[in-house]
Amino acid sequence: MEKVKSTRQINGTFGSVWVNNEKWLDVESFEAKVTIDYEDVNMAEDLATHKKMTGWTGEGTLTVKKVYSRGASLLADGVKKGQLPEINLVGKLADPDAFGAERVAINEVTFNEFMLMQFEQKTLATEELPFNFADYDPIDLISA
């Protein structure tokens, strides 16, 4: 197997996020992960605890530089009216020096909270938007 050069490690600076088909250029960080739910299964004459998948949970966090009122613009009216908007995300990581790019569509997104206002003296502001999701589709993956 050939040695992998350090330049091939993908750099998060080349990450992008689209929220409902709008590219947000103020993204600071993005994370979306799937946690698999299991139930314990015990078998006769076997001391090991086995696992059976029973579902999964999708969750993540989108952090943006405080340039716009992202959370309030997207959610404030809907929360007060009891009608939240349908939200879909697409994340992309495409470092030109890496072996390829990753893209994933994240659907049925529900944001858990948004900040109405927060600030601290002599500090650049960010806004953190934690979310859950019920569907995802890998579009592009990097493979060996």
Say what the pLDDT of residue 73 is. Answer: 92
Q: Is the pLDDT of residue 144 over 80?
A: no
Alpha carbon distance 46, 32 (integer Å): 36
Give the model's confidence band at 7: pLDDT under 50 very low, under 70 low, under 90 confident, else very high: confident
What is the rounded average pLDDT of the residues 95-106? 90
Span 101-119, pLDDT tens digits: 899 999 999 999 999 999 9
End-to-end CA distance of the chain: 11
Give the three-class secondary structure for 42: strand
Alpha carbon distance 100, 88 (integer Å): 24
Say what the pLDDT of residue 57 is. Answer: 98
Say what the pLDDT of residue 83 is. Answer: 94
Name the E strands within 43-144: 49-65, 89-93, 102-107, 110-111, 126-133, 135-140
Structure tokens at 115: 């900040």
Say what the pLDDT of residue 100 is. Answer: 84
What is the rounded average pLDDT of the residues 80-98? 93
Q: What is the residue-averaged pLDDT of the chain?
A: 94
What is the dihedral sign for C-alpha 14, 139, 71, 73? positive
Q: Is the pLDDT of residue 1 over 70?
A: no
